[in-house]
Amino acid sequence: MRVKKTKQSDRGVYRYPVQVEDGRGGYRTAYNVIKPGEDGITEVMIKSLHAMDDHEVYLNVKNGHPPMTAEQKVAKKEWEVAHPGEKYTMNWNLSLDYIAGEDDEEVDKSHVLAGASYDPFDEEEVSPEVQRLRDVVAAMTDRQKQVYQMVLLEECGYTEVAKLLDCSPANVKQICNKVIVLIKAGV
């Protein structure tokens, strides 16, 4: 569980741990490094990976110190009286076993997973507006798709996108305006 963000000076690349066999029947932690320019990796992809890590750190820290309601504080006091000398645990993470039944029971838990899962390609749930937007984006040029992704979806600035696409910020703004016109006309 991560509780510290990656240093700003180390964010030019992305490192992630993997478990590899050590040759003695065990495993050791090694780090894979992803660099921009290798295997089609872009700086935007690396920035996205670091953003996901930052969000994970935020949630881990938040879950480690959740605010307590008055009822929870009373329950904590009662628990501490009933269990002297033990530490009251704050971050209880529920498992699927808790939701679906006990571990000892042979219960099919797939219905729990099915209800909690999301299929982004499930066409039954897509509204007509979303489908029209997908069609408009599919008809865009590659450059327009890149600007749409970075400026409108990821909310990057024109200057930052211009550096990544090796063009001027005015050109990025012009492409973005064209993308907005296409979206308004298509939707």
User: What are the residue ranges of CATH 1.10.10.10 in the chain?
Assistant: 126-187
16: left (phi over 0), alpha (psi -120 to 50) or beta: beta
Q: Which CATH number fits domain 126-187: 1.10.10.10, 3.40.50.300, 3.50.50.60, 3.40.50.150?
A: 1.10.10.10
What is the per-residue pLDDT for 119?
62
Cβ atoms of residues 32 and 47 within 8 Å: no
What is the per-residue pLDDT for 107?
54
**Per-residue DSSP letters for 114-125?**
HHH---TT-GGG
- Contact residues for 21 (Cβ-Cβ < 8 A; gap 6+): 27
CA nearest to 13, candidates 1, 4, 160, 39: 39
- What is the block-wise mean pLDDT of the chain (187 residues), using blocks of 10 residues? 87 92 89 92 93 90 78 88 82 54 55 62 71 88 92 89 91 93 85
| pTM of the full structure | 0.40
What is the per-residue pLDDT for 111?
60
- Name residue 31's beta-bridge partners: 17
Q: How far is CA 135 from CA 63, 89, 183, in A?
A: 40, 50, 10
Task: Tell me the C-alpha distance between 103 and 97, whole Å.
Answer: 6
Cβ atoms of residues 187 and 132 within 8 Å: yes
What is the per-residue pLDDT for 129?
85
Task: Tell me the C-alpha distance between 80 and 101, whole Å.
Answer: 27
Matching residue, tokens 């808790």 = 98
Per residue, the 3-state secondary structure of 65-104, as one string, reads CCCCCHHHHHHHHHHHHHCCCCCCCCCCCCCHHHHHCCCC
